[in-house]
């Protein structure tokens, strides 16, 4: 009997291409696991009115560990139009499967490491005054609160009367009081102190393990005073328990400027849901893009690991597949970290680092050429060839 059971959810588009590659790598390092496929994604929505079937949720609840590929998500009108005819007009509402997983299982700690590999031609470089350049070593992990904030899902177009009455009780709402209901959309940014404590504590614990000198809380408390204010004040409280680690505070807009000036100074950043999403993508751009961006959604009981890229449907039908599988493979390595298979995780990261540094095998994104059917003919490695190169280093 296998030591672990992992629920595999390839999802949509290129998720079906990259997730199997990660399983090849896990097998190569001797990860003792049974893999159970689970349905998720756009086909489930169109045929069942639910992109995340209850049977998949039950598997996650039972086995606690998931690997997730990618998902297609569309605005509400487009989603309704693609339901099969007999489901249309029946009140089905599309909800993001990953958001649903986070909220159902309280996967509130979202870790997004953005770590540069030496030799990656996509790495950020910085000009020097003498005309040369340097390549700062970027080793940043964004701790993104995963269940609250702007992604809490509490929103309305044409708010009902009781919500409208509550909004009207706030003096700042006077400017909107006469807006017709169908022309008014409202989304709530919800922050709770307990969730703040959990995500900030996770960030400080990580900084302590890695020996980093500080944690940055990145919010906007000078404008979004109540919710960002709670994040920042809670971070100050938590920081008192870590006297050897500094707490720095930045505003989200200024942080996006500074990450293009001195990104190497930010090793651990903690932020609410939307801001953390923005920050992690911005930092990913400095280390090669979403082809290198892994993430883990971690709860007390269930945890799900995924690349942060989307389903990229325009590439999904290409044969051979051309997308970069490294983000998915790094997500699998994060899963190994989570179950304390640290040596296996490090072997995977070292093999990736060796392939990138050697530079003989590069997917189209690493070659800075357009993705498409012609990229293989221009010298780009396929998805499978990149995995093969990583497997060769593991041997």
- Of 235, 256, 286, the residue that ends a domain is 286
Strand, coil or helix: 311: coil
pLDDT on residue 76: 83
Asked whether residue 382 falls in the same domain as residue 249, the answer is no
Q: 134 with 259, same domain? A: yes
Please tell me the distance from the alpha carbon of residue 127 to that of residue 120, in angstroms, as a whole number: 17
CATH number at residue 232: 3.40.50
Mark whether 261 and 346 lie in a shared domain: no
Same domain, 132 and 228: yes
Whether residue 99 sits in one domain with residue 11: yes
pLDDT at res. 291: 95
Q: DSSP letter string over 329-353?
A: HHHHHHHHHHTT-HHHHHHHHHHHH
> Which among 286, 308, 333 is the end of a domain?
286
Mark which of 265, 286, 307 sits at the end of a domain.
Answer: 286
Identify whether residues 128 and 242 lie together within a single domain: yes
Residues 142 and 240 in one domain: yes
pLDDT attached to residue 77: 87
Task: Write out the H or E segment, with its range, that includes residue 365.
Answer: none
Are 245 and 215 in contact by the 8 Å Cβ rule? The answer is yes
- pLDDT of res. 160: 97
Q: How many domains does the chain have?
A: 3
Taking a C-beta distance cutoff of 8 angstroms, is the pair 357, 123 a contact?
Answer: no
Q: Enumerate the β-bridge partners of residue 348.
A: none
Question: Do 200 and 248 sit in the same domain of this protein?
Answer: yes
Ranges under pLDDT 50 in the chain:
none
Q: What is the pLDDT of residues 142-180, one digit of tens each?
A: 999 999 999 998 999 999 999 999 999 999 999 999 999
Range of the domain at 237: 124-148+193-286
270 and 212 within one domain = yes
CATH code of the domain covering residue 39: 3.40.718.10
Whether residue 208 sits in one domain with residue 182: no
Q: Are residues 80 and 17 in the same domain?
A: yes
How far apart, in whole angstroms, are the C-alpha atoms of residue 269 and residue 267? Answer: 7
Say if residue 140 is in the same domain as residue 257.
yes
């Amino acid at each position: 009997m296998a030591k672990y059971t992992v629920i595999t959810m390839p999802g949509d588009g290129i998720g079906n291409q990259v997730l199997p590659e990660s399983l090849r790598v896990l097998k190569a390092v001797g990860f003792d696991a049974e893999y159970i496929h689970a349905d998720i994604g756009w086909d489930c929505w169109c045929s069942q009115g639910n992109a995340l079937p209850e049977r998949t949720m039950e598997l996650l609840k039972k086995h606690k560990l998931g690997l997730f590929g990618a998902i297609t998500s569309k605005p509400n009108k487009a989603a309704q139009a693609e339901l099969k005819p007999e489901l249309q007009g029946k009140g089905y509402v599309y909800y993001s499967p990953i958001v649903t997983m986070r909220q159902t299982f309280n996967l509130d700690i979202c870790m997004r490491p953005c770590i540069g590999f030496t030799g990656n031609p996509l790495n950020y470089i910085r000009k020097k005054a003498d005309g040369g350049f340097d390549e700062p070593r970027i080793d940043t992990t964004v701790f993104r609160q995963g269940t609250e904030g702007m992604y809490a899902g509490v929103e309305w177009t044409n708010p009902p009367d009781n919500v409208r009455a509550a909004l009207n009780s706030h003096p700042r709402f006077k400017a909107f009081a006469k807006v017709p209901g169908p022309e008014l959309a409202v989304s709530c940014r919800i922050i709770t102190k307990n969730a703040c404590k959990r995500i900030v504590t996770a960030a400080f614990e990580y900084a302590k393990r890695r020996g980093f000198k500080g944690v940055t809380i990145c919010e906007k408390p000078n404008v979004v005073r109540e919710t960002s204010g709670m994040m920042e004040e809670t971070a100050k409280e938590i920081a008192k328990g870590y006297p050897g680690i500094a707490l720095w505070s930045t505003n989200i807009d200024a942080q996006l400027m500074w990450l293009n000036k001195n990104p190497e100074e930010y090793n651990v950043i903690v932020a609410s849901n939307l801001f953390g999403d923005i920050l992690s993508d911005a930092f990913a751009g400095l280390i090669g893009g979403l082809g290198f961006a892994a993430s883990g959604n971690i709860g007390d009981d269930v945890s799900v690991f995924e690349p942060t890229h989307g389903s990229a449907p325009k590439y999904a039908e290409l044969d051979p597949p051309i997308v970069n599988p490294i983000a998915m493979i790094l997500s699998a390595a994060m899963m190994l970290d989570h179950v304390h298979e640290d040596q296996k995780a490090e072997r995977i990261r070292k093999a990736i680092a060796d392939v990138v540094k050697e530079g003989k095998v590069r997917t189209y994104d690493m070659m800075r050429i357009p993705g498409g059917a012609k990229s293989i003919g221009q010298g780009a490695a396929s998805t499978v060839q990149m995995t093969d190169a990583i497997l060769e280093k593991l041997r």
